[in-house]
Structure 1
Amino acid sequence: MNPLLTAPSQRLRITIASLLLSGATSSFALNTATIVSSAVSPNCLEYRVVGICYWLFCTMFGCSVRTSVKVRHYIPDAVVSSYSNTGENPWVEVRAMSMPNPTAKAGGDGTTNHDNENNLAKFKNADVIGHPAGSVFSQFASASGYTCRGAGTAFMPYLLSTLDTLAWRYNVPEMVYPEALIPGMREIGGRTTLNLWGNVYPRGGFLHQTDDYKSGAVVAQRAGDIVTRRAQPHVYQPLLATARDGYWPAGALVETDASTGKWQELTPTLSTTCAVFPHGNPRVQAQQGDYAWALWRPYACCQRRGQVFLGSVDFQ
């Protein structure tokens, strides 16, 4: 199993892709082609050989134990958009999925736009839609070795806040959850470090935050939190795969924990790297209040080499 960037031709391809990505700015519309090209990111992929799997292989002449390499890497499962104006998802090709309807019409801030107003009520819509990279990402990742399959299906809507009106716009029933009422529970950032971006609960579109970028990030985290869990009080589809022999899919997304998922900014600036919220990277405020990130999730797997999976051993 070769590590990343072993072949000169592969290094050249990745260098060119990185230069193209780093040259992209907010002047580019967020379209499918841009999103697909963004998936060529070694930093976000983070491909690693992490262990060995053992398989029992049997024939009519007897049985033997075979091994295969266990790998771990991230996969861009979905594009999560967080935007102020209902019906104006920044990803232009999927905008028609979340147009205004009788129960979800308007959006935007709840009060004035003064930057020094500490009680500024903001509102964001959110959409979670399957990442479109598909075969482009598969070819890129397979250059490193054996690869895992993600949970996302391209262009599949996993959460459209315009269809989740009761929970997204009225915070029912999560407004009375302990996570929503007790300070310090499920928060993005820290109070002691004076870097509190916002609270995960209630997982709706409203929050109080003077920084629009941070508002968009918190709402994106809330949407990701919902779709990576089952049986939540929202209108959505779970973005989860089922574990099986030799396959360990990503679980629930947890804020500030990169081992559960990380974010690649797509707009208003296009990033070549991934991070968790909160982060210290430069933050560009979107003029229309629309943001989008690719949600990369960790998967581990190994190639099947027998009829019976005996287990795996991870390297220290």
Structure 2
Amino acid sequence: MMRTFTSLSMAVALTIGMASTTTAPQARALTTPEIAESSLSTSCLEYQVIGICAWLYCTPYGCTVRTSTRVKHFIPELVVSSYENTGDNPWSEVAMLSPPTGDATGGGRATEEADSRHSNTRFKNTDAIGHPGGAVFYRMLSSFGYSCESDVLPYTPYFLSTLDALAWRSSLPEMAYPEALTPGMREMGTVGDLWSPIYPRSGFVSQPHDYKAAATTAQRAADVVTRNGQPHVYMPLAPTDNPAAGKWAPDPVMEGDPDTHKWQQLEPNMSMSCSIFPDGGESHQLQDPGNYAWALWRPYRCCAVRGQELLYFTGE
């Protein structure tokens, strides 16, 4: 079994390394100031007052009930990049975090010769790194009143596909999971516009459309990072509810579910609005297969603590 596993890994690595010689040049660099500015999107923020929290507040002189406003809004937590060649993360300041290594040296796509040349299987390196716009974002958010906070650490690598080369380039062990073997299970897209299955969560996508392939690997990386105990090399960003502190964390990212996440396109075109995949990606296709990046926004609910015990809360 070990021999088969090793051979498969070597074959995959060799294939990717050969493909890297024919890929397109890197797109323009995405900079940290641009990413920070993108966090000023009130459309992605979706700030809402959704109810109240009632707290039991006690002193030596007796107990009273105090209330605080309960709010909900999205927070930009990660910058997820999906790109052709190893080491070419379009976010220029963090590209040094994922250079080529012995197990992750190339990138690109496989092609078949038919009546015309077309790409079938694509491979994308994918990184998920803590969003750098926290200071700018929370300064804007302060104008709305009370707000929630995320535990995300700016510039921190939560997932680098070069460090997860074994799973990201071999699809093991997830190629044998029920989600990967059952048609219609955990798929991104709709009937007539199916982009790709989520499993196995690797860098390989059978998809001729480059934008859709890149979006698929971004969705897969977010799926991994927002869960604990996955068979990948990563740092989880999976907070749990803490009602005693007035905090309710988002559920893990689920494809097609706007109640768990939203995507904001950063590269190749900066957008100040958010959506979920599918998002009309045909219009975002680069002329040549290239590099893409999105900000991952997730929803938080919270209220100010005004007592020793939370009695009840209202709102979704």
TM-score (norm. length: structure 2) = 0.87
Distance 1:100 1:237 in 2: 20
1:223 lines up with 2:224 in the alignment:
no
Measured after TM superposition, the shift of residue 28 of structure 1 is 6.0
Amino acid across the alignment from 1:223: A
Q: Which residue of 2 aligns with 1:301?
A: 302
Q: Which residue of 2 aligns with 1:86?
A: 86
The 3 A distance-change label for structure 1 pair 230 and 116 is: farther
Q: Which residue of 2 aligns with 1:207?
A: 205
The 3 A distance-change label for structure 1 pair 50 and 133 is: same
Distance 1:115 1:140 in 2: 54
Measured after TM superposition, the shift of residue 84 of structure 1 is 1.0
Q: Deviations over 1:27-69 (max 9, x none)?
A: 8631100000000001100000011101011111111000000
Amino acid across the alignment from 2:239: A
State whether residues 148 and 300 of structure 1, in contact with CA within 8 Å, keep that contact through their aligned partners in structure 2. yes
Amino acid across the alignment from 1:109: R
The 3 A distance-change label for structure 1 pair 93 and 305 is: same
Q: Secondary structure at the match of 1:136?
A: helix
State whether residues 174 and 201 of structure 2, in contact with CA within 8 Å, keep that contact through their aligned partners in structure 1. yes
Measured after TM superposition, the shift of residue 230 of structure 1 is 0.2
More displaced, 114-123 or 174-183? 114-123
Q: Which residue of 2 aligns with 1:57?
A: 57
Amino acid across the alignment from 1:101: T
How do 1:1-316 residues align onto structure 2 when only pairs under 5 Å count?
A: 29-111=29-111, 120-190=120-190, 192=191, 194-244=192-242, 245=244, 246-280=246-280, 283-286=283-286, 287=288, 289-314=290-315
Measured after TM superposition, the shift of residue 183 of structure 1 is 1.1
Q: Deviations over 1:48-100 (max 9, x none)?
A: 00111010111111110000000000000000001111100000000000000
State whether residues 56 and 307 of structure 2, in contact with CA within 8 Å, keep that contact through their aligned partners in structure 1. yes
Amino acid across the alignment from 1:303: A
TM-score (norm. length: structure 1) = 0.87
Q: Which residue of 1 aligns with 2:9?
A: none
Measured after TM superposition, the shift of residue 151 of structure 1 is 3.0
State whether residues 27 and 291 of structure 2, in contact with CA within 8 Å, keep that contact through their aligned partners in structure 1. no
Measured after TM superposition, the shift of residue 242 of structure 1 is 3.0
Distance 1:257 1:42 in 2: 20
Amino acid across the alignment from 1:111: T
Distance 1:289 1:281 in 2: 14
Amino acid across the alignment from 1:61: Y
The 3 A distance-change label for structure 1 pair 58 and 32 is: same
Q: How many residues align?
A: 288
More displaced, 64-73 or 286-295? 286-295
Distance 1:126 1:43 in 2: 26
The 3 A distance-change label for structure 1 pair 29 and 168 is: same
The 3 A distance-change label for structure 1 pair 102 and 136 is: same
Q: Deviations over 1:270-305 (max 9, x none)?
A: 001000000236632234511000000000000011
The 3 A distance-change label for structure 1 pair 146 and 200 is: same
